């Protein structure tokens, strides 16, 4: 089965990336508020490299991080989707659900709406048994999205993220899980 070019929800389209997404994605990644729970801002070059990696993941895994667009305005507002995670942690390798939205899209339920669609794709189309999510301990907004989509915190597997420098305040991460059998769709 190939990856669908798009997944539509009531208010959003999750789609493959276009060249026109590069500038607004770079702007999003250079915003200190958007990147508050990441160790650094991304340069335009690193932002573009992220898009290239997202697109390559679709070819390799049949899933990836879709560009996220509002259906009413066709505005690019960020990404949501699934990513293969295999860094050094006891609970990996696995598939992570993630999102990153522009500030203009915050507080409107878009992350939850798109994440629910990504769960559907992961469980129903890719037949995954489990989907993970993790973030810095201090990232309460993302943890609330995780809870709204039915994920449960696995406190026993909270961890020090190996890709964040030792001593950095964002190094400690929480882990959330959702098994297909517990998914209410």
Q: Report which of 126, 129, 115 is spatially closest to residue 61, judged by C-alpha positions.
A: 126
Confidence grade of residue 5 (pLDDT, cut at 50, 70, 90): confident
CB neighbours of residue 120 within 10 Å:
14
Helix (H/G/I), strand (E/B), else coil: 124: helix
In order of their start, the domains of the chain are 6-182 (3.40.630.30)
160: three-class secondary structure by DSSP: strand
| DSSP code, position 7 | E
- Using 50, 70 and 90 to split pLDDT, how confident is the model at 4? low
Beta bridge partners of 66: 80
Cis peptide bond upstream of 93, omega within 30 = yes
CA distance 163 to 18: 28
The reported pLDDT for the residue numbered 185 is: 84
Pairwise CA distance, residues 172 & 83, whole Å: 20
Handedness of CA 22, 50, 118, 98 (dihedral sign): negative
Q: Return the H-helix or E-strand segment holding 21.
A: none
pLDDT digits 0-9 by tens, 46-95? 999 999 999 999 999 989 999 999 999 999 999 999 999 999 999 999 99
User: How many helices and strands (H and E) does the chain possess?
Assistant: 4, 9
The pLDDT of residue 2 is 58
Q: Are 70 and 11 in contact (CB under 8 A)?
A: yes
Nearest to 24 by CA among 48, 2, 53: 48
pLDDT, residue 3, reads 61
Residue 96, strand partner residues? 83, 132
Pairing verdict, β 172-179 and 65-70: unpaired
For residues 118 and 152, give the distance between their C-alpha atoms in angstroms, rounded to a whole number: 17
């Amino acid at each position: 089965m190939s990856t669908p070019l798009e997944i539509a929800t009531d208010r959003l389209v999750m789609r493959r990336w276009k060249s026109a997404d590069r500038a607004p994605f770079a702007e999003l990644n250079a915003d200190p508020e958007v990147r508050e729970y990441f160790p650094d801002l991304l340069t335009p070059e690193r932002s573009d490299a992220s898009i290239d990696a997202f697109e390559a993941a679709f070819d390799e895994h049949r899933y990836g991080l879709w560009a996220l667009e509002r259906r009413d305005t066709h505005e690019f507002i960020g990404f949501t989707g699934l990513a293969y995670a295999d860094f050094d942690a006891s609970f990996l390798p696995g598939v992570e659900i993630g999102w990153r939205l522009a500030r203009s899209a915050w507080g409107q339920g878009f992350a939850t709406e798109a994440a629910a669609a990504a769960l559907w794709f992961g469980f129903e189309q890719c037949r995954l048994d489990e989907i993970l999510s993790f973030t810095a301990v201090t990232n309460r907004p993302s943890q609330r999205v995780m809870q709204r989509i039915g994920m449960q915190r696995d406190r026993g597997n909270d961890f020090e993220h190996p890709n964040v420098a030792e001593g950095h305040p964002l190094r400690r991460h929480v882990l959330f899980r959702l098994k297909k059998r517990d998914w209410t769709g």
